[in-house]
């Protein structure tokens, strides 16, 4: 007998039929004798709808009220799943973030979990074999007593954090794909499912745009050394062999992975914008004059490239920001024009970042160089490059994203046979 957290994403709870299917998965584990805490997302599309309503109500809405609104999607699915489980004769109750409590920072819309009290849930496992059905994505700030949310995709993080709090043996993430692939299988049909992936590699994949897991959930898995297993909720619960290993991907420490490839996977993100500040005088303090105000405005700058301007005398500085911060970033630079002293501001939003990830890159040289040659062979222009120990990223025109991902996927031998 063990203790499990089972997390189901939006597509898996999209309607009552699917919630019934989820309940059958839960019953399977309960029947196998496990203590089970379930974490659910809102029904597919619900959170987007709630976000849109807030924007419609006021583009400059109060973030605390935004959280009160968007947290409601998970309240509905947690209650519904508890009702269905009870109807199947399983002892179950729903829990909202504040009832547990899942204590978070007060950074509304992107709060961080600080502490979870798992005692009541654990006690109920023991006393009455009760399944806990927990609303994902939400928490409460203990100082203000207000509802918070963990950022988009945050139910993954709720699940791993709860798994750590109740000392679960494993956290199963049930989603609409049957594991973590070498790249998004919806974009590259030749993508291969990974049996195992190291926390470090998964962290990079998630940070660079593979939305199968929220970044923070991988960080928590790594910190608590909590095995996270990504699997499909569409497998028929009745067909799963209770003693076999179901299809899926285990995210675990690097030592547990026997075979290692130089490149593990490829991620991409179209949520990028490029800004070029042209013809700046090449003197000390210029970078500070540009990036200081951006940092003060809480805008994350990612890739940075500096090169000589057309006139051969001044310099150009190009950088990327998240597309959602694009307008603010442009305004921030324009307001600092006198201080920076530049001739022109160019920008592009139809750009994409493609990232190649693999902890094997630590010990292999020339991995990125191969990519530059392959992309040139496809006539794909590289606008900017960044590298780190276990990944490199290129910024390209968004129209070439799929072509670039497929080209690199083949180049590094990731295509399935």
Q: CA-CA distance, 162 to 226, in Å (whole number)? A: 11
Q: Which is nearer to ligand ASP, 70 or 277 (CB)?
A: 70
Q: Does 112 bind ligand ASP (CB under 6 A)?
A: no
Size of the site for Mg ion (CB under 5 A): 2
- Picked from ligand ADP, Mg ion, ligand ASP, none, the partner binding residue 177 (CB below 5 to 8 A depending on kind) is ligand ADP
Q: Which is nearer to ligand ASP, 157 or 407 (CB)?
A: 157
300: helix, coil or strand?
coil
Residue nearest to ligand ADP (CB): 9
Q: CA-CA distance, 319 to 297, in Å (whole number)? A: 16
Other beta carbons within 10 Å of 359: 22
Among 37, 180, 280, 333, binds ligand ADP (CB under 6 A): 180
The least CB distance from residue 284 to ligand ADP, in Å, is 42
For residues 254 to 293, the per-residue mask of contacts with ligand ADP, x marking binding by CB under 6 A and - elsewhere, is -----------x----------------------------
The least CB distance from residue 217 to ligand ASP, in Å, is 9
Size of the site for ligand ADP (CB under 6 A): 20
Q: Does 248 bind Mg ion (CB under 5 A)?
A: no
Q: What is the largest CA-CA distance in the chain?
A: 77
Among 6, 132, 212, 390, binds ligand ADP (CB under 6 A): 212
The least CB distance from residue 10 to ligand ASP, in Å, is 5
Please choose, from the candidates 83, 210, 85, 76, the residue with its C-alpha nearest in 3D space to the C-alpha of residue 156.
210
Q: Does 41 bind ligand ASP (CB under 6 A)?
A: yes
Helix (H) or strand (E) holding 320: strand 315-322
Cβ atoms of 267 and 210 within 8 Å: the answer is yes
Q: Does 137 bind ligand ASP (CB under 6 A)?
A: yes
Among 177, 251, 303, 390, binds ligand ADP (CB under 6 A): 177
Segment 5-44, which members bind Mg ion (CB under 5 A)? 9
Q: Does 75 bind ligand ASP (CB under 6 A)?
A: no
DSSP-derived letter for residue 383 is -
- Encode 43-54 in three state secondary structure: CCCHHHHHHHHH
DSSP-derived letter for residue 181 is B
Q: Does 71 bind ligand ASP (CB under 6 A)?
A: no
The least CB distance from residue 71 to ligand ADP, in Å, is 16
Among 183, 264, 276, 315, binds ligand ADP (CB under 6 A): 183
Among 40, 210, 404, 414, binds ligand ADP (CB under 6 A): 210
HSE-up of 113 (CA within 13 Å, CB side)?
Answer: 29
Cβ atoms of 371 and 356 within 8 Å: the answer is yes
Q: Does 97 bind ligand ASP (CB under 6 A)?
A: no
Strand-pair category, 35-40 with 3-8 = parallel
Strand-pair category, 138-141 with 146-149 = antiparallel
Q: Does 154 bind ligand ASP (CB under 6 A)?
A: yes
Among 55, 167, 186, 362, binds ligand ADP (CB under 6 A): 186
Q: Does 6 bind ligand ADP (CB under 6 A)?
A: no
HSE-up of 256 (CA within 13 Å, CB side)?
Answer: 14
Please choose, from the candidates 362, 364, 368, the residue with its C-alpha nearest in 3D space to the C-alpha of residue 408.
368
CA 289 from centroid of its chain's CA atoms: 32
Segment 119-158, which members bind Mg ion (CB under 5 A)? 153
Q: Which is nearer to ligand ASP, 39 or 84 (CB)?
A: 39
Q: Does 121 bind ligand ADP (CB under 6 A)?
A: no
Give ∠ CA 8-114-112 in degrees, rounded to 5.
60
The least CB distance from residue 6 to ligand ADP, in Å, is 12
**Edge-to-edge order in the sheet of strand 138-141:** 113-116, 102-104, 138-141, 146-149
Q: Does 370 bind ligand ADP (CB under 6 A)?
A: no
The least CB distance from residue 247 to ligand ADP, in Å, is 12
DSSP string, 115-175: EE--HHHHHHHHHH-PEEEEESSEEEETTTTEEEE--TTTHHHHHHHHHHHTT-SEEEEEE
The least CB distance from residue 332 to ligand ASP, in Å, is 27
Among 4, 9, 26, 136, binds ligand ADP (CB under 6 A): 9
Residues that bind ligand ASP (CB under 6 A): 9-10, 41-42, 47, 73, 136-137, 152-156
Residues that bind Mg ion (CB under 5 A): 9, 153
């Amino acid at each position: 007998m063990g203790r499990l957290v089972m997390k189901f994403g939006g597509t898996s709870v999209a309607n009552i039929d699917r919630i019934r299917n989820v309940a059958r998965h839960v019953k399977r584990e309960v029947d196998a004798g496990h203590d089970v805490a379930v974490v659910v997302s809102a029904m597919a599309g619900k959170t987007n709808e709630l976000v849109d309503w807030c924007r419609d109500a006021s583009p400059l809405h109060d973030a605390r009220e935004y959280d009160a609104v968007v947290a409601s999607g998970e309240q509905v699915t947690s209650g519904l799943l508890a009702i269905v489980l009870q109807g199947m004769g399983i002892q179950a109750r729903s829990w909202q973030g504040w009832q547990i409590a899942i204590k978070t920072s007060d950074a509304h819309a992107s709060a961080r979990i600080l502490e979870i009290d798992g005692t009541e849930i654990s006690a109920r496992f023991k006393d009455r074999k009760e399944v806990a059905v927990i609303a994902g994505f939400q928490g409460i700030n203990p100082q203000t007593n207000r509802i918070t949310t963990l950022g988009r995709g945050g139910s993954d993080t709720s699940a791993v954090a709860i798994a750590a709090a109740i000392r679960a043996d494993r956290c199963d993430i049930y989603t609409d794909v049957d594991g973590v692939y070498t790249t998004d299988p919806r974009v590259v049909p030749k993508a291969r499912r990974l049996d195992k992936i190291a926390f470090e590699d998964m962290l990079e994949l998630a940070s660079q745009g593979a939305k199968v897991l929220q970044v923070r959930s991988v960080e928590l898995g790594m910190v608590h050394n909590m095995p996270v297993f990504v699997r499909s909720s569409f497998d028929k619960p009745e067909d799963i062999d209770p003693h076999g290993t179901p299809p899926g991907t285990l995210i675990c420490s690097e030592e547990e992975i026997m075979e290692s490839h130089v490149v593990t996977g490829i991620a991409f993100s179209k949520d990028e914008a490029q800004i070029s500040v042209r013809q700046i005088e090449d003197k000390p303090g210029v970078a500070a004059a540009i990036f200081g105000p951006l940092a003060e405005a809480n805008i994350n700058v990612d890739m940075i490239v500096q090169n000589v301007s057309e006139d051969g005398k001044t310099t150009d500085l190009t950088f990327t920001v998240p597309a959602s911060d694009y307008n603010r970033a442009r305004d921030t630079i324009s307001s600092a024009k006198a201080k920076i002293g530049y001739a022109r501001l160019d920008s592009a939003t139809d750009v994409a970042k493609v990232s190649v990830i693999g902890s094997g890159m630590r010990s292999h040289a020339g991995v990125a160089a191969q990519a530059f040659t392959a992309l040139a062979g496809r006539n794909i222009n590289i606008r900017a490059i960044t590298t780190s120990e276990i990944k490199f990223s290129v910024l390209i025109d968004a129209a070439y994203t799929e072509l670039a991902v497929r080209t690199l996927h083949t180049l590094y031998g990731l295509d399935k046979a």
